[in-house]
């Protein structure tokens, strides 16, 4: 497997509306494997094809644990957590009325985070990597990751939606300046 280059924010592919995947060719299967490899290498929880310069409507995601369970807020992990998800030609067919705020980062915009308000729950339909029709209804962090990746397919980045954006490690830099 190959670690793919994550393109920088200025690359226009990140801002395009991606095209539907027409056939699950061996080339697409290899791309899926390489996207997982690239995502894990970068410690990401999701990666969309446009982020690696492929303007195609597909993304991968893997959220090992549910932070809401770890924090004792929910008893069970949300559906989809702990599974290597491959979503091809996805469509969000339902958004919950309940909105949630959460902090997001993006492998395409390293060093920054922002607070984004999104529907807490979604239902998304998609094809899996075998071409089977699937549907997932989920909520919380899993739903947030899927919506973030879905936005990439329409050329939308979290910075477009964030209520507030900040640079990671800025405090460390301030400390350095204070020390100097």
For residue 178, the minimal CB distance to Zn ion (Å) is 32
Q: Which of 74, 149, 164, 171 is catalytic?
A: 149
Q: Are 35 and 60 in contact (CB under 8 A)?
A: yes
167 is catalytic: no
Toward Zn ion, which CB reaches closer, 106 or 136? 106
Q: Are 9 and 165 in contact (CB under 8 A)?
A: no
CA distance 173 to 171: 5
- Closer of 24 and 105 to Zn ion (Cβ): 105
Scanning 9-17, 21-29, 54-62, 104-112 for contacts with Zn ion by CB under 5 A, the matching segment is 104-112
Among 106, 122, 142, 143, binds Zn ion (CB under 5 A): 106
153 lies in the site for Zn ion, by CB under 5 A: no
Q: What is the nearest approach in angstroms of Zn ion to the Cβ of residue 46?
A: 7
Q: What is the DSSP string of 76-139?
A: SPPTTTTS-EEEEEEEEEEE-S-EEEEEE--TTSTTEEEEEEEESEEEEEEE-TTS-EEEEEEE
- In the bound state with Zn ion, the residue whose beta carbon lies nearer, of 28 and 106, is 106
Total chain residues near Zn ion (CB under 5 A): 1
Q: Which active-site residues does the annotation give?
A: 149
């Amino acid at each position: 497997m190959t670690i793919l280059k994550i393109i920088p924010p200025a690359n226009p592919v990140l801002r395009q509306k991606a095209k539907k995947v027409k056939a699950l060719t061996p080339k697409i299967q290899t791309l899926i494997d390489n996207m997982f490899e690239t995502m894990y290498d970068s410690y990401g929880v999701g990666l969309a094809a446009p982020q690696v310069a492929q303007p195609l409507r597909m993304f991968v995601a893997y959220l090992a644990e549910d932070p809401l369970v770890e924090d004792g807020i929910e008893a069970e992990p949300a559906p989809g957590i702990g599974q290597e998800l491959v979503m091809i030609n996805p469509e969000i067919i339902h958004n919950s009325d309940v909105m949630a705020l959460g902090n997001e980062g993006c492998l395409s915009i390293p060093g920054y985070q922002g607070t984004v308000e999104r529907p807490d729950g979604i239902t998304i339909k998609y094809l899996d990597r075998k071409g089977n029709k699937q549907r997932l209804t989920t909520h919380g962090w899993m739903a947030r990751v899927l919506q973030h990746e879905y936005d990439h397919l329409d050329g939308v980045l979290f910075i477009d939606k964030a209520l507030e954006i900040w640079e990671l490690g800025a405090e460390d830099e301030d400390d350095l300046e204070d020390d100097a």
